Amino acid sequence: MNEKSELALKVLTLAVLASKGIKIARLSGNRNFDEKVVKAKMKSMKANGMLVPAIILDAMKVIEAGLEIVDFETGEIISAADAARYVVLADANHRYKAHLNLLEANKDLKDEEKYKGEFYLIYALNEEITVSRMFSEINICTNPWKGGDFPKGAKMACKEELPLLDFIVKLTEEGYPLPTASKWGTFKASITKEIMADAMAGKISDKLRKTNGLERGENLLKAAAKHLSKEVLKSRTLVDWVINKYDEADDEQKVSVIGNLVDFFSSLSKEKAEQIEKAKGQRGGDTKETIINRLLNKFYEQFKQS
pLDDT band (50, 70, 90) for residue 1: very low
pLDDT band at 277 (very low <50, low <70, confident <90, very high): very high
Judge contact between 265 and 184, C-beta under 8 A.
no
- pLDDT tens-digit series, residues 122-141: 988 877 787 877 776 766 55
Sheet holding 120-123, edge to edge: 12-13, 120-123, 54-58, 86-89, 23-27, 69-71
Under the phi-then-psi rule, with left for phi > 0, alpha for psi from -120 to 50, and beta for the rest, what region is 177? beta
pLDDT tens for residues 250-269? 999 999 999 999 999 999 99
Greater pLDDT, 282 or 140: 282
Task: Measure the CA–CA gap between 247 and 227, rounded to whole angstroms.
Answer: 24
Amino acid 124: pLDDT: 85
Return the pLDDT at 4. 54
pLDDT of residue 275: 96
- How far is CA 13 from its chain centroid? 29
Give the pLDDT of residue 253: 94
Q: Residue 147's pLDDT band (boundaries 50, 70, 90)? A: low
Instruction: Output the pLDDT for position 102.
Output: 96
How much of the chain exceeds pLDDT 70, in percent?
Answer: 92
Pick the closest to residue 3 from 51, 60, 47 (CA basis). Answer: 60
Strands 86-89 and 23-27 come out as: parallel
Q: Is the pLDDT of residue 215 over 90?
A: yes
List 86's β-bridge partners, or say none: 23
Domain ranges in the chain?
Answer: 1-126, 214-305
CA 21 – CA 89 distance, rounded (Å): 16
| Per-residue confidence (pLDDT) for residue 139, from 0 to 100 | 62
Tens of pLDDT, residues 76-124: 999 999 999 999 998 889 999 999 999 999 999 999 999 999 999 998 8
For residues 157 and 171, is the Cβ–Cβ distance under 8 A? no
So what's the pLDDT on residue 146? 62
pLDDT (tens digit per residue) in 16-71: 999 999 999 998 876 678 899 899 999 999 999 998 899 999 999 999 988 889 99
